Amino acid sequence: MSGEWGIKSKVLRTFRKSIIPQYPGYEYHVILSYDSDVFEFSRKPLVDWDSVVKELKQSGAANVEQVKAVRSIEDWFLYDTEGLRKFLHLPGRFQMKGYSGQKGLEELFRKAKRTYIKGSACRGLVEALDMSVIIGRIRTEIQKLEKELI
Protein backbone atom coordinates (compact mmCIF):
# COMPACT_ATOMS: atom_id res chain seq x y z
CA MET A 1 0.00 0.00 0.00
CA SER A 2 1.20 3.48 -0.66
CA GLY A 3 0.14 7.03 -0.01
CA GLU A 4 -2.05 8.22 2.80
CA TRP A 5 -4.09 5.07 3.15
CA GLY A 6 -0.94 2.94 3.47
CA ILE A 7 0.61 5.02 6.25
CA LYS A 8 -2.67 5.74 7.98
CA SER A 9 -3.87 2.14 7.89
CA LYS A 10 -0.51 0.84 9.14
CA VAL A 11 -0.56 3.21 12.12
CA LEU A 12 -4.16 2.39 12.98
CA ARG A 13 -3.74 -1.37 12.39
CA THR A 14 -0.65 -1.46 14.62
CA PHE A 15 -2.47 0.41 17.39
CA ARG A 16 -5.68 -1.63 17.17
CA LYS A 17 -4.25 -5.10 16.48
CA SER A 18 -0.90 -5.04 18.28
CA ILE A 19 -0.75 -2.40 21.01
CA ILE A 20 -4.24 -2.60 22.52
CA PRO A 21 -4.40 -6.44 22.67
CA GLN A 22 -0.86 -6.69 24.04
CA TYR A 23 -1.45 -4.04 26.73
CA PRO A 24 -5.12 -4.24 27.76
CA GLY A 25 -6.32 -1.86 30.42
CA TYR A 26 -3.58 0.71 29.90
CA GLU A 27 -4.05 4.39 29.20
CA TYR A 28 -2.55 4.97 25.75
CA HIS A 29 -0.50 8.08 24.98
CA VAL A 30 0.54 7.98 21.33
CA ILE A 31 3.37 9.99 19.79
CA LEU A 32 3.35 10.31 16.00
CA SER A 33 6.79 11.27 14.78
CA TYR A 34 7.58 12.18 11.19
CA ASP A 35 9.59 14.44 8.92
CA SER A 36 7.64 17.61 8.20
CA ASP A 37 9.42 18.20 4.87
CA VAL A 38 7.45 15.41 3.24
CA PHE A 39 4.12 16.88 4.28
CA GLU A 40 4.20 20.64 4.75
CA PHE A 41 4.92 21.91 1.24
CA SER A 42 2.40 19.79 -0.61
CA ARG A 43 -1.01 21.11 -1.66
CA LYS A 44 -2.51 17.78 -0.71
CA PRO A 45 -0.18 16.21 1.83
CA LEU A 46 0.41 12.48 1.67
CA VAL A 47 -1.17 11.98 5.11
CA ASP A 48 -3.91 13.93 6.86
CA TRP A 49 -2.38 13.69 10.33
CA ASP A 50 -5.42 15.32 11.99
CA SER A 51 -7.51 12.44 10.63
CA VAL A 52 -5.01 9.90 12.02
CA VAL A 53 -5.13 11.62 15.43
CA LYS A 54 -8.95 11.58 15.40
CA GLU A 55 -9.12 7.88 14.53
CA LEU A 56 -6.50 6.93 17.14
CA LYS A 57 -8.54 8.73 19.79
CA GLN A 58 -11.72 6.99 18.57
CA SER A 59 -9.81 3.69 18.87
CA GLY A 60 -8.91 4.29 22.51
CA ALA A 61 -5.89 6.60 22.69
CA ALA A 62 -6.16 8.95 25.67
CA ASN A 63 -3.79 11.43 24.08
CA VAL A 64 -2.07 11.77 20.72
CA GLU A 65 0.82 14.17 20.12
CA GLN A 66 2.73 14.90 16.94
CA VAL A 67 6.50 15.35 16.92
CA LYS A 68 7.56 16.79 13.58
CA ALA A 69 11.19 16.92 12.57
CA VAL A 70 11.37 20.37 11.01
CA ARG A 71 12.54 19.51 7.52
CA SER A 72 13.92 15.99 8.11
CA ILE A 73 15.36 13.64 10.72
CA GLU A 74 18.67 13.77 8.84
CA ASP A 75 18.93 17.43 9.81
CA TRP A 76 18.85 16.27 13.43
CA PHE A 77 21.74 13.84 12.78
CA LEU A 78 23.77 16.62 11.17
CA TYR A 79 23.72 18.67 14.40
CA ASP A 80 26.32 16.31 15.90
CA THR A 81 29.13 16.95 13.44
CA GLU A 82 31.77 15.33 15.67
CA GLY A 83 29.74 12.14 16.11
CA LEU A 84 29.18 11.91 12.35
CA ARG A 85 32.84 12.63 11.64
CA LYS A 86 33.95 9.82 13.94
CA PHE A 87 31.29 7.39 12.67
CA LEU A 88 32.29 8.01 9.06
CA HIS A 89 36.02 8.06 9.89
CA LEU A 90 36.43 11.47 8.28
CA PRO A 91 39.60 13.42 9.15
CA GLY A 92 39.43 16.17 11.76
CA ARG A 93 40.19 18.81 9.14
CA PHE A 94 37.20 17.72 7.01
CA GLN A 95 34.71 20.61 6.62
CA MET A 96 31.33 19.53 8.05
CA LYS A 97 29.45 22.79 7.36
CA GLY A 98 27.05 23.29 4.48
CA TYR A 99 25.40 19.88 4.53
CA SER A 100 21.66 19.65 5.17
CA GLY A 101 18.89 17.10 5.10
CA GLN A 102 18.92 13.72 3.44
CA LYS A 103 20.99 14.92 0.49
CA GLY A 104 23.63 16.33 2.83
CA LEU A 105 23.87 13.11 4.83
CA GLU A 106 24.05 11.08 1.61
CA GLU A 107 26.90 13.30 0.40
CA LEU A 108 28.84 12.90 3.66
CA PHE A 109 28.43 9.14 3.46
CA ARG A 110 29.61 9.22 -0.18
CA LYS A 111 32.73 11.16 0.87
CA ALA A 112 33.40 8.36 3.37
CA LYS A 113 32.85 5.74 0.63
CA ARG A 114 29.65 4.53 2.29
CA THR A 115 25.99 4.62 1.34
CA TYR A 116 23.13 6.20 3.26
CA ILE A 117 19.61 5.08 2.33
CA LYS A 118 16.72 6.79 4.10
CA GLY A 119 14.61 4.32 6.01
CA SER A 120 17.25 1.58 6.03
CA ALA A 121 19.16 0.43 9.06
CA CYS A 122 22.57 2.03 9.40
CA ARG A 123 24.27 -0.05 12.05
CA GLY A 124 26.08 2.05 14.64
CA LEU A 125 25.01 5.50 13.44
CA VAL A 126 22.61 6.36 16.25
CA GLU A 127 24.97 4.93 18.87
CA ALA A 128 27.79 7.12 17.52
CA LEU A 129 25.78 10.31 17.90
CA ASP A 130 25.83 12.44 21.05
CA MET A 131 22.14 12.78 21.80
CA SER A 132 22.73 15.61 24.27
CA VAL A 133 24.10 17.73 21.40
CA ILE A 134 21.13 16.89 19.19
CA ILE A 135 18.48 17.28 21.90
CA GLY A 136 19.90 20.68 22.79
CA ARG A 137 19.19 21.81 19.23
CA ILE A 138 15.74 20.22 18.79
CA ARG A 139 14.22 20.93 22.19
CA THR A 140 11.24 22.87 20.77
CA GLU A 141 10.51 20.11 18.24
CA ILE A 142 10.43 17.37 20.89
CA GLN A 143 8.76 19.39 23.64
CA LYS A 144 5.55 17.31 23.43
CA LEU A 145 7.51 14.07 23.67
CA GLU A 146 9.44 15.29 26.72
CA LYS A 147 6.16 16.36 28.36
CA GLU A 148 4.70 12.88 27.87
CA LEU A 149 7.80 11.12 29.20
CA ILE A 150 8.30 13.24 32.31
Domain residue spans of the chain: 3-69, 73-138
More confidently predicted of 1 and 133: 133
Nearest by Cα to 61 from 28, 35, 88: 28
What is the DSSP annotation of 30-76? Answer: EEEEEEGGGTTT-SS-S--HHHHHHHHHHTTEEEEEEEEESS-HHHH
Non-local CB neighbours of 97 within 8 Å, separated by 6+ positions: 81
- pLDDT attached to residue 81: 92
More confidently predicted of 120 and 98: 98
Band (pLDDT 50/70/90 cuts) for residue 2 is very low
